[in-house]
Structure 1
Amino acid sequence: MNSPVVRVGDTIRRPAHARSAYVDALLRHLPAAGFGGAPRPLGYDERGRQILTYIEGYVPAGGGPWLLSDARIAGATRLMRAFHEATVSFPLRDGGDAVCHSDLGPHNTVFRGEEAVAIIDFDDDVAPGLRLDDFAQAVWGFADLTEPGVAVAEQARKMWLMCEVYGGVTPYDVVAALTARFQRARDQHRAAGRRGAEEVFEGLLTWMRRESPLLLIEPD
């Protein structure tokens, strides 16, 4: 009830942000590029909120571990690959090999049954970038990486599955990209004096250093 993002009939209303115009242009481009798995922009309402089409389905709520089925993970991976491919022809894709959603994960994926049908929540982090970084972010969530309640062998199996389905990226690439991301976040929080957040990412880096050899063993 207190969320700034609300459903109104068959639409979603969300506060405009600094990159709303960019997001609108991207979302208009995607269907023309053959990708139908995203909301369509419908302008702005009298309160200045961005209006988007509502996509019917189930979005996993809460935090990890998500413990999704292989079918859902594979379907979501195919969806994000199709999204990245559709952004290649976007005229405003400057300085990157794709446009990155920057928060891909179960919490921003719409499912109908076992099928992944849409990516949602295109926020102010949407920008040109490296698809590897966007994909690695998704693997972190979908494969339950770093989750203490999930066996590392199971995390590895799901990561390898996602890499196979996405194509052109290896588990080694994902581990390197996530490690670099955690290091950047730790250093940024340290520089800003956010000790608690710094410790969170230091813990994630410790986990990666300890468990990455197991993650990189190809499952049977």
Structure 2
Amino acid sequence: MQHNEEQPLSGGNVSAEVVRVGDTVRRPAGPWTPAVHALLTHLHESGFRAAPRPLGIDDQGREVLTFVPGNVVWPARFASMRPARRLARVARLIRDFHDAVQDFTPPSDAQWQVLIPAEGATDEAGIIAHQDLAPWNLVVSEQDDWAFIDWDTAAPGSRLWDVAYAMHGFIPLSAHPDWQCADAGARLRVFADAYGLDEAERRQLVPLLGRRTRSMHDFLRGQAARGNQPWTTLWAGGHGDAWRGDAAYIEQREEHWERVLLAG
């Protein structure tokens, strides 16, 4: 590829107009871009490198980020997340991000792209959360370097808000027969242990698992009712039904999740 040649990047649900140029990625910018770039700069200065580095705005008004080499895990490479040690690595990576972001002070004029108001966003546990820590945003390189991408919806949230969402995707906590796993409880415990959740956090997490998942269904339903894209297309394609089914699956098993998380 020529250094200045634009190569469209596919994958994900909101990838229109995202291109690679040399060792950079160019994406449409928005009012939230300066705050997101401040966040990513802070993460790199704190030693967290599992995220792209911001390089400013190009002459077309697009944000410029370092290109993260590798392949997105979901769906073709999701089997690589099956070993417990790989699941634990995801949890530790998320913990590293949360620890690095804990002392981040957003710019005074920060604007965030808030898609779903997060529980715990305004209390003492509040952080700037990624909001979409999932297999479709985890890139793994041939050298087995891992990084999360798509930070444009980072916004006020909490550690548990991010963790509940990540557990849904990486365990996974799914009602779909192709993805449902018989050892979901054991994998939930692996994730919680690797992240380092204490007993109080585990008790708070259990009901949050279902609420966080159901919030995705409710968000898609609301956006589809307004005709907003790409959410209307996703709703028509059954994504809302999938999130609702997963939420019901999770909620019906809350006692089981609590037992495995709190077992001595």
TM-score in terms of structure 2 length: 0.70
Count of residue pairs the alignment pairs up: 218
Is 1:137 the counterpart of 2:150? The answer is: no
Partner residue in 2 for 1:101:
130
From 79, 84, 90, the counterpart of 2:93: 79
8 Å CA contact 2:165–2:213 kept in 1: the answer is no
Q: Decide whether aligned partners of structure 1 residues 75 and 182 sit closer, same or farther in structure 2, where only a CA change above 3 A counts.
A: closer
Deviations 1:167-209 (A, max 9, x none): 1256554331121224444555666774976654443332223
Q: Equivalents in 2 of 1:107, 1:188: separation in Å?
A: 18
8 Å CA contact 2:210–2:248 kept in 1: the answer is no
Partner residue in 1 for 2:73:
60
- Counterpart code for 2:187: K
Partner-residue secondary structure (3-state), 2:156: strand
Deviates more, 1:29-38 or 1:69-78: 69-78
Shift of 1:157: 1.8
% of aligned pairs identical? Answer: 33
Shift of 1:159: 1.4
8 Å CA contact 1:23–1:126 kept in 2: the answer is yes
Q: Equivalents in 2 of 1:105, 1:193: separation in Å?
A: 22
Q: Decide whether aligned partners of structure 1 residues 203 and 92 sit closer, same or farther in structure 2, where only a CA change above 3 A counts.
A: same
Q: Equivalents in 2 of 1:55, 1:188: separation in Å?
A: 29
Partner-residue secondary structure (3-state), 1:35: coil
- Counterpart code for 1:128: P
- Counterpart code for 2:182: A
Q: Give 5+ residue unaligned stretches, structure 1.
A: none
Partner residue in 2 for 1:13:
26
Partner-residue secondary structure (3-state), 2:56: strand
Partner-residue secondary structure (3-state), 1:144: coil
Shift of 1:8: 0.9
8 Å CA contact 1:152–1:215 kept in 2: the answer is no
Partner-residue secondary structure (3-state), 2:71: coil
Partner residue in 1 for 2:254:
212
Shift of 1:119: 1.4
From 35, 52, 67, the counterpart of 2:48: 35
Partner residue in 2 for 1:178:
209
Partner-residue secondary structure (3-state), 1:91: coil
TM-score in terms of structure 1 length: 0.83
Q: Equivalents in 1 of 2:42, 2:182: separation in Å?
A: 40
Partner-residue secondary structure (3-state), 1:218: helix
Is 1:164 the counterpart of 2:176? The answer is: no
Q: Decide whether aligned partners of structure 1 residues 130 and 49 sit closer, same or farther in structure 2, where only a CA change above 3 A counts.
A: same
Q: Equivalents in 2 of 1:23, 1:193: separation in Å?
A: 26
Runs of 4+ aligned residues of structure 1 deviating over 4 Å after TM superposition are 113-116, 169-172, 185-201
- Counterpart code for 2:104: F
Q: Decide whether aligned partners of structure 1 residues 212 and 126 sit closer, same or farther in structure 2, where only a CA change above 3 A counts.
A: same
8 Å CA contact 2:53–2:65 kept in 1: the answer is yes
- Counterpart code for 2:91: T
Shift of 1:31: 1.7
Cα RMSD (Å): 3.0
Partner-residue secondary structure (3-state), 1:153: coil
Partner residue in 1 for 2:228:
none
Q: Decide whether aligned partners of structure 1 residues 105 and 49 sit closer, same or farther in structure 2, where only a CA change above 3 A counts.
A: same
